[in-house]
Structure 1
Amino acid sequence: MYLQIYCCKISSIKMKDTAFKKHISRYLKNQLQAEEKQKLDNWLDDLAGNDSFDGLNTAEKAETESRIYKQLTDRISKTEKSISLSIRLKPLLKIAASIALFTTLLFIFRVSLKEVFNIGQYVSIRNYKGKITKTILSDGSIIWLKGNSKLDFPIKFKGGLRKVDLDGEALFEVAKDARHPFIIRCGTLTTRVLGTSFNIKHSINKTEIDVLTGRVFLSSKIAAPITLQPNQKAVYCESKKTLIKEARPVLEIAELTKGTEYNMFFNDARVEDVLHRIEKKFEVEISVKNPKLKDNLITADFTDQSLINTLNMMGEALNLDFEIEGRSVILKNKV
């Protein structure tokens, strides 16, 4: 089953409860006229933007939506057995909020967010706007999905490979794991890495790969495979059956990483400011046992580092130990 998260917002349109209930009933029976359906979609879009979800990370949002989906399909099947349930997840999510399930369900979901998903479930993130969307995968990899793009990935990776599907453009910061290669499928092109950072821009007939760090292996059934090193670029053309390294260098890193938190270089920065950046990038909450540490200055480069590596580097620089429990991180002086 695929869960879909739509990264877009539409302005608020008010609708009375009685009218809304009638529209919902007709919507589920596929009886709405085009104009009525658009009005309902617009109104529901406003509900979907409820900021109650802002504190959840990608996996938690997906679990919440999955549970809402199940609650809704169970309820609908009891009252409208003849209604087709082949409905987009987003309207279902929005309907849930609208029929007063939202508050109760959200409380239940927050209590049980740490439960493990069934392996094999997938999330589909679609970014139809220009704003970049950050996704943190179960292995710690970070993907910055750019405008007009779609990313499919499993809630939990299984087996020996970590596989995702991309349509559009994204910047990848892949967590290092030599035993579990990371695979990105873009049409007929496969990108394979162990742990590195790179940008992929995929369209109908053309795919561009810009490597920032590490090695990237590219392969296709219709072209000879190649390997890219840092600061190298390749272009894949499906119609011409070509996969070649470009003579020109990759785009400026600042251009490829614009709108992301990829750059984590700090020069004489206050520890407190650095910690805020780490919290934002990795979606964690950091507490410091010794408040005086926050005023210290630090110069370090945490770019393309995992959360664990970043904390280890900070620990070495400031003589700190750390503990991680879920999304909470505690920093304390070494004994």
Structure 2
Amino acid sequence: MLFNIQRDIGDIVEGYLIPDGFSDVPKVLVSDSDGDIAAVECDQLHQAVLGAGRHKTGLVGFRLTEANIPGLRQRITLRVQDAKSGLLIYRRPLRPTQINMKIIRIETQLFPHVAVDREMMKHFQYCLASIERFGHETTLQTFLLNGINSIYLSGRLQVRNYQEFLDKGFRAVTLLTDPYYEMALRLAMLKRFATVKPVFLGERDLMSLSPAIEYFGELELSDTNAVRKALKNAPLRVRNVLNSPMTRQFACADADQPSTRRDIASAMDVISRFAIIGHINDTLSFATSLGQLLNVDMDSIPILQRSQAINRMADELKTLPIAESYLEDDLILDHYVRQAIEIGASDDT
């Protein structure tokens, strides 16, 4: 979907919401810190949208006034969301804690660092986590919110598709994960997803992961021999979920595209453009660097620490040549990135 805010002059807030469905009637949910206020149907005609064939009626604009939102001017914590998906469209500036920067945090774990995202909501006017859930067009729109200077986005994005925004005001940060740890985490998550539907994954991810969820759903993860056999006999669609996901994320335009050795250099080039590059082996340095960039107390940045159970599984995976063959590109990329981080740290001292 496409959306934006056009103006907020206190007693009038105007914007638009073009839904995914051609004939859907868009509606915004308006709320503030006290709770929901009203659901307002989009009834303002946008002729250009109609002429371009993007919507059946072109009625995609919304206009909030004192008539449909009583006390609008005084509602300093006003929020506007898509009533159907809950997607944030707009919220009023934060005072006095707002950080006027544009940050994209690239998530490299299948299980996201939700505590970090929750903390960032206190500092950024527009804040949206796990944005890959909403699809490419909607994600692209969040980068194009030109009327807002305080933006925090996070997600497991294919970075190549959005790297142009690193030259357009966005600063990228990432906490890279250990390849064996991520494989262990993915195996544990895939097994869990067989019985519990994850709330942080979008429909596209669920479809992509479904063969692996079914395949690993009954696997006994504490049985190293069973894990070895499962990895060895996995069909291609299952292997794709585990094959060097970090290299593919930074170098490939499509999450299902297999990586090659040449992609390692491409991934390194993209990562080198990030403002902050951290590693899960040293979360303290990442929190310190992020705190300095944002000028906030790094103790308020809650970085999820490594799970001991997942660590033990990762150690077992290190003994399996088949696991190494899955992760060859990521292991090479991880080596060079950690080496670069160490050199950068020594240069700073």
User: Is TM more than 0.5 here?
Assistant: no
Q: Which has the higher helix share?
A: 2
Which one has more relative contact order, counting CA pairs under 8 Å at least 6 apart? 2
TM-score by length of 1: 0.29
The structure whose residues are more often strand, as a share, is 1
